[in-house]
Structure 1
Amino acid sequence: MTHAGGATRIGITALGMVSALGRGAATSCAAARAGLTAASELTVMDFRTQALFGSETLDGPPAVFGHVVKDVAEGFAGPGKALVLGAAALQDLMRRKALSHRELLRTGLVVNLSDAAVQDADARSSRAFGVHEPVPSATWRARTALVAQRLADMTELPIPGELQAVRHAGNAGLSLAIETALAMIREGRADRCLVGGIDSRVEPGFIKAAARLRLLRTNENPVGLIPGEGAAFFLIEPIDPRRVAIDPAGAPLAFLESVASAGDLAGLLSEAAPSGAALARAVAGALSASGAAERSIQAWLMGDLNGTERRAMEWGRALMRLRGETDVGGLPCWFPAESFGDTGAASAAMALCMAVRAFERGYAPAPRCVIWMSSEGGAKGAVVLHGGSG
């Protein structure tokens, strides 16, 4: 667990985002708050001829729906799509807070990507690869190892290579990305960091794997996820209260109070039912590090429920474990997947943007927000935010 502030508080000073609901953080979050959704029938492959997605009924052939970022990433796939989505989110952030060339030379860039755990599990169960063939996640890591550098090049950000990092940890990888960024700042290597997540779950490889593992929502499997895609970035930096007192316009949008990570060796795709223990440890660790672990806390929750049974089971069991120390069961809950679909490695960064915009615009239901995250591969994490005036 990490207390984000230490002697100096860490503020979130800018946001950037692209989603199926908008080309920027402000538009996307406003649309989500209004309850809008943009799910549409996917056309990335022919679902009609594959029994995997259901059988034809009186209503016609089977169809799969998802949340697609239209006119931005259409026509791209794999690492190319990740780059296009990530560049759009970074450009949105830089329009809001431009950094000088000199500032960018002291700025870190940490990117979280998919862990490809769903594709790995599908490959193992279907014996789709030979003994000497690498698992999908290994191939994905190799193809995206230089994503941070290529993003910096595409967006013309002169961020030094030694201040770039890529994490492949899925939904919960944002907690690891934040810890990496905080280490850069504390060690004096960077003055600030751009942190974010990118993912697309509307590509054929993921959709087929999710369908075979009974994770995808179809007409014949109503308990499943609706795939989505998107990217979100935010800027974190130490806040000098003396400067803010002189120039209130320099106040942060929110404060990053704490972050915690944990791991579950079994993961969400194993035969064993999820215990929720690792997720509970992450949430409890973040609350403890933030100083908000009292029995009754003023906060609201944002988390990774996406319609699948195992995630719901994991969160329910985590709540039972947490209630022994902190009463979080009755807190308001927001689930970004309702608005954006399941966006995987981008989900927690998008949730953070939603929380910060709620603070910024004055409709946050509590002074703190606890964002919990759970990766299919076993990584768990939690982040505690506080409103910018706190």
Structure 2
Amino acid sequence: MNTGAPSSPTRAQGSALPGNTIAITGLGMVSAIGSDVASSCAAARAGLTRWRELDIQVTDEDTLEAVPLKGQEVSSLTLGFEGFARWLRLGDAALRDLMEHSGLERPAFAQTGIHLQLPGTWLEEVHIQGSLLDRLPEGERERVRRGVDAERTEKREQLTRRFLPELLALNQLPLAPRTQVYAFGGAATFTQVLARAVEALRSRTLERCIVGGIDSWVDGETLTQAYEMGLLRTPNRPVGRFPGEAAAFVLLERLDSARARGARVEALLGPVASTVEAGHRFSGRSLTGAALFEAITTCFPEGARQAEGAELSIVNLNGDESRSREYGYALVRLQEAGLPTSSRRWYVPEHFGEIGAATGAVAICMGVRGFIRRYARSPSILVSLLDDELHRGAFLLRDIPWRQDEAGVTAPHGRQS
């Protein structure tokens, strides 16, 4: 029987990898289909969903009846909470799960940092531009824009002063202020967060780093903006995304640091790449897949031979026609370059809805749990992240080479004992 318990490297097996290899030694998550990482990923594996009716109603053009929009909501945590408080509730649950999962103890806190991604303001900016600024006389437009920008800056400053200190206090994590780093943006921004964390680890600025994301597309203001911009699927719109919410964290540390504290190494992080597209979802420019292709090829510096091990991909296709088309263009470019394109793909929004800034961390949780439970059936996983904004990103997850079954014999990928 496979217990799914992660293992630590033996001396011989661990010494085959450089000490600055980035190890994943902890996971934490909360979603609409699970209160922790194990149940969330197991539910996704089983194809479970938990839809709820949301506050916005639309008229079905066929029946002329009012029909509520549907989404995936962590109602046990977030019902009655909005904005800052909602994110804090989600983040607290996911961070508690990470702490329990990783075995991180107080002596390690002094050398631990946290890099957190929260939603950016792109959706709000595009919505205000189309619903307000474009309708104002040109002379008044700039004055209103300055007022909106000032209000947005003030909110951001207040958020960065309060959010991480309050989140860490809830979990009794006294991390130094200098180690607390924020990022704001959509799904693909997460690769920049990962890259900065890896740099801090390899430069020995930190011994270990908690990296994660929190987002809610079912929160009132965000939900309204997404609906009015035509991004959501409705009875009258057969393509589009279903909103969701989630929080997820992963613990990264150098392999030598993980060995020193006797941590359980659950997977390895491979190359991380971030690129920028020429236009965004509403820029009017054609998205050709070139930026995503560049990010993916950067993850395979040795070319096709190295890419053959990535037999599974995790992608954030979400029902949006433009995003699917862009990913298709990227696949064509990969084929033309002689790089294999995995026929096996997992889609994060299929299970959790659109979760924006939490997407990258959730993808890591899905992939690592797939390694641990042996259903990934691939020695490495390519994670590709598209976005409504300009960023595109990709990174590799690698299974640990010393994963063993209970008999102490290394089991081939895909075998369940």
Tell me the TM-score normalized by structure 2.
0.84
Q: 1:145 aligns with which of 160, 167, 170?
A: 160
1:242–1:285: structure 2 CA closer, same or farther, 3 Å change rule?
closer
The equivalent of 1:337 in structure 2 is 349
Letter paired with 1:230: A
Q: Residue 386 of structure 1 is aligned with which of 393, 398, 403? A: 398
Is 1:164 aligned to 2:175, yes or no?
Answer: no
Aligned with 1:62: secondary structure? strand
From 140, 154, 172, the counterpart of 2:170 = 154
Gaps spanning 5+ residues in structure 2: where?
1-16, 134-140, 403-417
Cα deviation 1:180-223 (Å, max 9, x = unaligned):
11122122221000000100000222222222221110011110
Aligned letter for 2:372?
A: E
Within a 5 Å distance, the mapping from 1:302-321 to structure 2 comes to 302-321=314-333
The CA distance in 2 between the partners of 1:217 and 1:122, in whole Å, is 17
**What is the percent sequence identity of the aligned residues?**
33
Deviation at residue 114 of structure 1 after TM alignment:
1.3
Pick from 361, 364, 377 the counterpart of residue 376 of structure 2: 364
* Distance change >3 Å, CA 242–CA 24, structure 1 → 2: closer
Letter in 2 for 1:332: R
1:38-96, CA deviations, whole angstroms, 9 ceiling, x for partnerless residues?
11211xx3x34xxxx34565373121000001211221111211111111101001111
Q: Report the secondary structure of 1:131's partner residue.
A: helix
Aligned ranges 1:262-281 → 2 under 5 Å: 262-281=275-294
> Runs (4+) of structure 1 moved beyond 6 Å?
none
Asked if the contact 1:21–1:37 (Cα under 8 Å) also holds between the matched residues in 2, the reply is yes
Cα contact 1:110–1:148 (8 A) shared by 2: no
Counterpart of 1:95, as a letter, is E
Unpaired runs of 5+ in structure 1?
none
Q: 1:85 to 1:104 in 2, by over 3 A?
A: same
Give the root-mean-square deviation of aligned CA atoms.
2.3
- Residues 95 and 7 from structure 1, CA distance in 2 versus in 1: closer, same or farther, beyond 3 angstroms? closer
SS of the counterpart of 1:226? Answer: coil
1:73 aligns with 2:93: no
CA distance in 2, matches of 1:383, 1:140: 32
Distance 1:81 1:296, change over 3 A: closer
CA distance in 2, matches of 1:137, 1:197: 20
2:197 to 181, 203, 208: 181
Report Cα offsets for 1:323-357 as digits up to 9, x if no partner: 22243434311001111001111011111100000
> SS where residue 88 of structure 2 aligns?
helix
* TM-score, normalising length: structure 1: 0.89
Count of matched residue pairs: 374
Residues 1:194 and 2:200 are matched in the alignment: no
Deviations 1:144-166 (A, max 9, x none): 32332322122110111111101
> The residue matched to 2:76 in structure 1 has which SS?
coil
Could you tell me whether the CA contact under 8 Å between 2:19 and 2:254 is conserved in 1? no
